[in-house]
Structure 1
Amino acid sequence: HFKEDPLFHCSCGPINQDDYFHWTGAIIGPSKTPYEGGVFFLSIKFTDHHPFRPPIIKFQTKIYHPSVDHEDGTVRLDLLGHPNPDQDPYNPISNLYKNDRNTHNKVARMWTRKNAVS
């Protein structure tokens, strides 16, 4: 499907021809977000239950985002541009996103520059 309808600023594909259940991907940080200018690499693992269950997606590049587990990079949502800070009320990144967006964005930009810009 990705070859027929590629996503702008996003690419992914199988790591090798022998294992179609493990993919790698990259997302270019959307403009006018704290992630602008960053390139974020992902690990994508499909289970035997695909397509009835979503793949397990983890950021390999460190990212400061309320919808990504800051310890292991597991994605809780599918888009950088639409975070859901209510998904984990105990997540300090979610709390900062909800209560002090300017500081959240400054920290997210700092993480992007440190971890996702070559």
Structure 2
Amino acid sequence: MSNIPSNLRYTKDHEWARLESDGTVVVGITDHAANTLGDITFVDVRVGPGAQVTAGALFGTVDSVKAVSDLFAPIDGEVVAVNGELEASPEEVNTDCYGDGWMLQIRPTDAAAFERLLTAAQYEALIKDYE
């Protein structure tokens, strides 16, 4: 059974989003996605600080021993930070996907977009048939 924190929001593409007190949104992949991929060997975030991302648009890939998986932005906004630690330690996504395994931090174009993402209960319902 996947770990699905209730304080986060989710996408159908298995990304999570956490609203920070400064209004930015931290993004990563879910425990379900990390477990499905297996051992993650490389994280390729193809955008950097200052870049604009669009909800549903590709921002990078995750390579694992099983597959390469695309990463999609959950909301529109400006990238304010990228987790450079993942270049040397991609396994952080497997060991702490909701903490040290984060990938991007975005300043949303529309603050309400976060609330339109899936709740933990909605995401749990989405993945229940896969577990």
Name the TM-score, length of structure 2 as normaliser: 0.27
Q: Comparing both structures, which one devotes a greater share of its residues to strand?
A: 2
Name the TM-score, length of structure 1 as normaliser: 0.29
Larger radius of gyration: 1
Higher RCO structure (Cα 8 Å, ≥6 apart): 2
